[in-house]
Chains A and B, each alone.
Chain A
Amino acid sequence: MKTASPDKSLIYQDVFSSGQAAEPAWQRYGALREQALAHLAAHGLETRGDEAWVHGSAGGLAGGEALPVSGLRQTTATGPAALARSHRLVFLNGVFAPERSNVGELPAGAVVQPLSTGGETAQLGGLPVTEATGLVALNALFWRDGLRLELDDNTVLDLPVELHFINDLAGKPGLVPTRNLVQVGAGCQVTVIERHEPGASKLIEQPLTEVICGVGSRVDHIKLVGGAAAGEHFGRTQVVQQQDSRYRSWEIVTGGHLARREIHLELAGPGAACDLNALYMGRGRQRFDLRTRVAHNAPGCTTRELYKGVLDGEARGVFDGLIRVARDSQQTSAHQTNRNLLLSDDAVVNSIPRLEIYADDVKCSHGSTTGQLADEQLFYLRTRGFSPAEARTYLAWAFASEVI
């Protein structure tokens, strides 16, 4: 594997060591941070030549100089509008903001709190899908806070858990890693909404969410990357699903100068099902990079994947999806679809749908299409009085509506 100059990892080491006294958060989860530091010292961050960055852009991370910034908790940024009813946690520059949060009443058996509070949980960073990559290590080393959601068996949260990540470094460059843990027991049901607004240019946010779905549980996970700002977003979700659990994901990406979303998911118990949806809509010079890795490691599991992109201007998109079916994972059903609509001649998308199948009794398919608005559809709408601009807008939304 090609690596960055190890020299750069020294910067991280220095920041971590020198900042450790000033950052109580970094003294928690010491074993995880030691591992991360060791990984970065040995390998550094992945660079352009690595497989992880094929067709994608490392943005501000490429320089290896994106560093966490401490002490900035004041902001006038309001962030997205809150839902009327939810268990809401707001994080400013990666730190819990109690004055903006409203966790509200919880049923028995539910823990919804900042990850920076309470005893350390052994589950964090313990997922088998956790690859030792530079990006994951960077997050593990520097996160300060995030969500801790734990549900005892058969606990149902009727209201969604709503997370706002608001970033404002007053125009300074900086890295804002956050870490979320969602661990639900057997028979639980919960909806988690992550709302990210990457913040201004030179700001890099890096949320990592781990999800453990207990036997027969139902987890819906919505991730929104929006806002008008020009920051960068490197988001990652790691999921392990036990028997007969159902995990549904919607990733809606419209904001940020560069946004990369990854899902790494393991179907670990028989009969588990995942339903992964994404919509990325870019314009100008936005860069969106959507990656999925699904491992069918048990029989009778189901994956349905629908990723759709609408790109205008000089926007670029990447879809890179891999479904891997292990040898003993018979009766697998896995379908992966990527569709892209390009609204301008300068928009580009790279689509890499992949299946790796080692079992023989499976139903699998994948498909990818990229096209432009159909002239006959535009003409049809215009003959009904739609202006050319209206017709294009309605057709783009019609294309996108399948996901949302």
Chain B
Amino acid sequence: MLRIEDLYAGTQGQDILKGIDLEIKPGEVHAIMGPNGSGKSTLSQVLAGNEAYDVTSGTVTYQGRDLLELGADERALAGIFLAFQYPVEIPGFSNEKFLRTAVNAQRRHRGEPELDAFDFAQLAKDKMALMELDPDLLNRSLNVGFSGGEKKRNECFQMALLEPSLAILDETDSGLDIDALRIVSRGVNALRRPDRSVLLITHYQRLLEYIVPDYVHVLADGRIVRSGGKELAAELEQTGYGWLEDMTAGEVAQ
């Protein structure tokens, strides 16, 4: 699905990612954990194609294609979805119109007929119920006046509509209470299929109780310093991230 090799990337001439290696196979759920400033969000932005970040070296291959050659919209149409840590507000652009345009961009790309407002309403209804979202949110401006939880659930609602092959969730759990966390997790788990992969980026182990990963990676100072199974998350819960400070660059475990 996704293979990252020796990836260096950053912004304003400063590398934040310093040699990432990661392979995600179809059907797998990977979690990336790490302290603030370790490069977690940069990784998600680079994978989604944010031009504010420069890739200085390394390769990213997605479904056999050179991902770095593609613009953000082309990546989206190829099945990559990023759930934003801070979903963007767009006053004057209704959530419904936004979502319908996004869904139709996908359908057009796949050669399927576009959905009209009525067909879209049918499709949206069930997925909104899954995310326990108030249908009125469809008529509001995108993310404007949404609570923190509503924004995150709206991201997962989009994910459910767009049915990506690779979903990247950037700290989707941050700022959520237990109920919202449970709803968001249900949305992600509903998406899990043998041909779909998920990359969870999180600071806390809590999310991984609801979405059980196949692999856990620890990111520190732009590199993956430890990888393991789901038990690694539990271990981190015990030890915290303090031990990372004692590590030197030479002790990278992979």
What residues of chain A have their CB less than 8 Å away from a CB belonging to chain B? 374-377, 379-388, 390-391, 394-395, 397-402
Whether the Cβ atoms of A398 and B90 lie closer than 8 Å is: yes
Q: Are B158 and A384 in contact (CB-based, < 8 A)?
A: yes
Task: Note all chain B residues with C-beta closer than 8 A to A385.
Answer: 73, 76-77, 102, 105-106, 109, 162
Q: Which of A385, A398, A400, A401 has the most CB of B within 10 A?
A: A385
Nearest chain B CB to A390 CB, angstrom units: 8
Evaluate contact between B88 and A376: CB separation under 8 angstroms: yes
A373 CB to closest chain B CB (Å) equals 11
Q: Mark B233-247, 1 if CB is under 8 A from A, else 0.
A: 000000000000000
Q: Are B73 and A386 in contact (CB under 8 A)?
A: yes
Complex CA gap A379/B87 in Å reads 11
User: Which one of B91, B102, B106 contacts A398 once the chains associate, using CB atoms below 8 Å?
Assistant: B91
Contact of A382 among B73, B84, B92, B158 (CB under 8 A): B73
Scoring B49, B52, B90, B102 by chain A CB atoms within 10 A of each residue's CB, the highest score goes to B90
A contacts with B: majority SS: helix
- In the bound complex, residues from chain B placing their C-beta under 8 Å from that of A374 are 88
Residue B214 is within 8 A (CB to CB) of chain A in the complex:
no
Which B residues touch A395, using CB under 8 A? 90, 93
Instruction: Report if A383-B82 is in contact (Cβ < 8 Å); known contacts: A375-B52, A388-B73, A394-B101.
Output: yes
Closest to B48 in A: A383
Q: How far is the CA of A380 from the CA of B77 in the complex (A)?
A: 14
Contact A379 B72 (CB under 8 A): yes
- A379 cross-chain contacts in B, Cβ below 8 A: 48, 50-52, 72, 88
Beyond the given A379-B88, A383-B75, please list 11 additional residue pairs across the A-B interface where CB-CB is below 8 A.
A375-B52, A379-B52, A381-B90, A382-B72, A383-B48, A383-B73, A384-B76, A384-B105, A385-B102, A386-B101, A390-B105
Interface range for B: 20 to 34
Which residues of chain B have C-beta atoms less than 8 A from A394's C-beta?
93, 98, 101
Choice from A377, A386, A397 contacting B105 with Cβ under 8 Å: A386
Bound together, the chains give a CA A401 to CA B90 distance in angstroms of 11
Q: Is the CB of A380 within 8 A of B92?
A: no
B71 interface residue per 8 A CB criterion: yes
A379–B227 CA distance with the chains assembled, in angstroms? 31
Tell me the complex Cα distance, A161–B88, Å.
42
Instruction: Tell me the residues in window 23-55 of chain B with beta carbons closer than 8 Å to chain A beta carbons.
Output: 48-52
Most buried by B among A380, A390, A391, A401: A380
Q: Once the chains bind, are A382 and B91 in contact (CB under 8 Å)?
A: no
Of all chain B residues, which has the CB nearest A379? Answer: B50
A401 vs B142: C-alpha distance in the bound complex, in angstroms? 13
Residues in chain B near residue A382, CB distance under 8 A: 49, 71-73, 76
C-alpha gap A208/B91 in the complex (Å): 35
Instruction: List 23 interface pairs A-B (beta carbons < 8 Å), by A numbering.
Output: A374-B88, A377-B90, A381-B90, A381-B98, A382-B73, A383-B72, A383-B76, A383-B81, A384-B76, A384-B101, A384-B158, A385-B73, A385-B105, A385-B106, A386-B102, A387-B105, A394-B93, A395-B93, A398-B90, A399-B91, A400-B92, A401-B92, A401-B93
Across the interface, which residues of A come within 8 angstroms of B51, CB to CB?
379
**Which chain B residue lies CB-closest to A374?**
B88
Tell me how far the C-beta of B2 lies from the nearest C-beta in chain A, rounded to whole angstroms. Answer: 16
CA of A163 to CA of B18 in the docked complex: distance in angstroms? 66
Contact yes or no, A398 B93, CB < 8 A: yes
A394–B102 CA distance with the chains assembled, in angstroms: 12
**Are B73 and A398 within 8 A (Cβ)?**
no
* Complex alpha-carbon distance, A104 and B227, angstroms: 80
Which chain A residues lie closer than 8 Å to B101 at the CB level? 384, 386, 390, 394
Asked whether, in the complex, the Cβ of A399 is within 8 Å of the Cβ of B92, the reply is: yes
Residue in A383, A386, A391 whose beta carbon sits within 8 Å of that of B49 in the complex: A383
Taking CB atoms, residues of chain A closer than 8 Å to B71 are: 382, 388
Residues of B within 8 A of A391 (CB): 73
The residue in chain B whose Cβ has the minimal distance to the Cβ of A399 is B92
Q: Which 9 A-B pairs have the closest CB atoms?
A: A398-B92, A385-B105, A382-B72, A398-B93, A380-B88, A384-B102, A401-B92, A385-B76, A382-B73
Q: Which residues of B contact A401 (CB under 8 A)?
A: 92-93
Give bound CA distance, A400 to B109, whole Å: 28
Tell me which residues across on chain A come within 8 A of B90, comparing CB atoms: 377, 380-381, 395, 398
